[in-house]
Homo-oligomer: A and B are copies of this chain.
Amino acid sequence: MKAYQTDDTICAPATAPGHAAIAIVRLSGPESFSIAGKIFLPRKKNLQVTALTSHRMYLGQIMDGDEAVDEVLLTRFVAPNSYTAENMVEISSHGSPYIQQKIIQLMLDNGARFANPGEFTLRAFLNGRMDLSQAEAVADLIASNSEASRLIAFNQLRGHFSGRIKDLRQKLLEFASLIELELDFSEEDVEFADRMQLGDLLNVIDDEVKVLRESFATGNALKHGIPVAIIGKPNVGKSTLLNALLNEERAIVSEIPGTTRDTIEDTITINGIAFRFIDTAGLRESEDHIESVGIERTHEKIRQAAIILYLFDVSSTGLEEIAQTILEFKEKVGDEDKHLILIANKIDLLEEIPHHFRNLVDLETIFVSAKRKENISMITESLLKAVDAAPEDKHAILVTSSRHYEALSQTSEAIAAVRNGIAGEIPGDLLAIDLRGALHHLGSITGEVTSDEILGEIFGRFCIGK
């Protein structure tokens, strides 16, 4: 951890780049107040920066020597009551990127260093303001673009996930103390009873780790959006359907001007859950073109998808043949984890809807006209139903980070090794090695044990200024 310099003063813009009413630049570290004192002239004469009340905004000017640069509001945060738990200063200026750059330049000239991505949060972590999984939640919260991803990140930030991990670690420590007890009394032959007890405790821990590991599929999908593939033969109306689905949502979501939604192309959000359409670039090309792209691309899409919308032209002749193809497809996909929804398109060309088709395939089939936008809402409802993966309890603890998932898997492996050790009646001091491994992996999630490499990876993904 010591590889990170934490005894200097860092600065960075804290708001998004661009012209706006307000832009904020922040300073953190021991020299924050003295640097701010050199470039800030309070409106109220004879007021020193070091005399300002913590957490209070003061009007004044940023000075470049004798030249006033901008009128700003400055707030001082006295350690440890700040985001980083260090002395901090926030300067709120007019939202001109030029002015913001000028203020930062003045901070650099007066001894500050430009912060690395995530360095403010890194300091908050190193100073014990939050654990590592909470720090990761800060980045997730900023990146959140749906109700589900916000909620997961926010709960993680509030320590729900860390609490569970710490609880597990506590149980493992209990287990370790039982092992030690056994070591102490090993000559008195109390071993057998203890090993039963050990096994039971281990099962409880292992089950809990397993529940967390299994939540990753849902957690990851909710965080990044549920991957949906639209597949079907050429000219069945795939791109028309995609547009109809996207328009459906746009009609629901009333945009507040000035707030830019994340414009992840081809994602719709239903009841706070994002559905991400895979490889829509292909769909946006002319449909004729698609056949030439070949079957491989389709296979790749199916592999990635959690939900497959299988589209066919219900107005074409030979529905029995189509049903046969679909049944073969279902056989091939064969993966219970994937939801297959049949979309019978082009009902506008029919006089009567062939409801009997459902009997041919025994699969959910939605009859629509993508062209006339008929029954599109039935698809969105169906998408939502398909995510029964979404937990009943919206505050359920879900693993959303592959780093955490990795660590939990390694914990499981170490626990399995302990279990084998118990079965093989190996000595307690050897069990202790695997036990320490399990404790290490759990501890790496919350940062009780960590390395520069892990920290570099985590905080390198943050935005500047956080």
Contact = CB atoms under 8 A, between A and B. Distances in A.
Contacts of A447: none
Nearest to A253: B101
Nearest to A259: B101
Contacts of A26: 21
A14 B150 CA distance: 21
Contacts of A114: 256-258
Closest 4 CB pairs of A and B: A16-B18, A258-B464, A21-B466, A17-B260
Given A16-B23, A114-B256, A261 B98 contact: yes
A398 B185 CA distance: 91
A47 interface: no
A458 interface: no
A158 B149 CA distance: 45
Interface string A278-302: 0000000000000000000000000
Given A97-B260, A259-B101, A18 B21 contact: no
B154 A463 contact: no
Contacts of A173: none
B70 A141 contact: yes
Given A19-B463, A465-B20, A154 B70 contact: yes
Contacts of A57: 55-57, 75
A95 B15 CA distance: 7
A393 to B, nearest CB: 13
A130 B423 CA distance: 82
Contact of A96 (B19, B96, B145): B145
Interface string A36-72: 0000000000000000010111100000000011110
A100 B259 contact: yes
B98 A144 contact: yes
A142 B16 contact: no
Given A56-B53, A68-B154, A141-B70, A17 B258 contact: yes
Interface string A132-146: 000000100111111
A15 to B, nearest CB: 4
A225 interface: no
A24 interface: yes
A94 interface: yes
Given A142-B95, A150-B99, A22 B18 contact: no
A464 B259 CA distance: 9
Given A16-B95, A95-B466, 15 more contacts: A13-B20, A53-B56, A55-B56, A55-B58, A69-B154, A94-B138, A95-B463, A96-B141, A98-B150, A99-B150, A104-B256, A104-B259, A105-B256, A257-B464, A258-B464
Chain A's interface: helix, strand, loop or mixed, by majority?
mixed
Interface of A: 12-24, 26, 53, 55-58, 68-71, 75, 94-102, 104-105, 108, 114, 120, 138, 141-147, 149-150, 154, 157-158, 256-262, 463-466
A99 B150 CA distance: 8
Contacts of A138: 94
Contacts of A142: 19-21, 94-96
Contact of A97 (B21, B71, B261): B261
A463 B20 contact: yes
A178 to B, nearest CB: 39
B259 A21 contact: no
Contacts of A262: 97-98
Contacts of A143: 19, 96
Given A55-B57, A100-B259, A465-B258, A141 B94 contact: yes
A16 B105 CA distance: 20
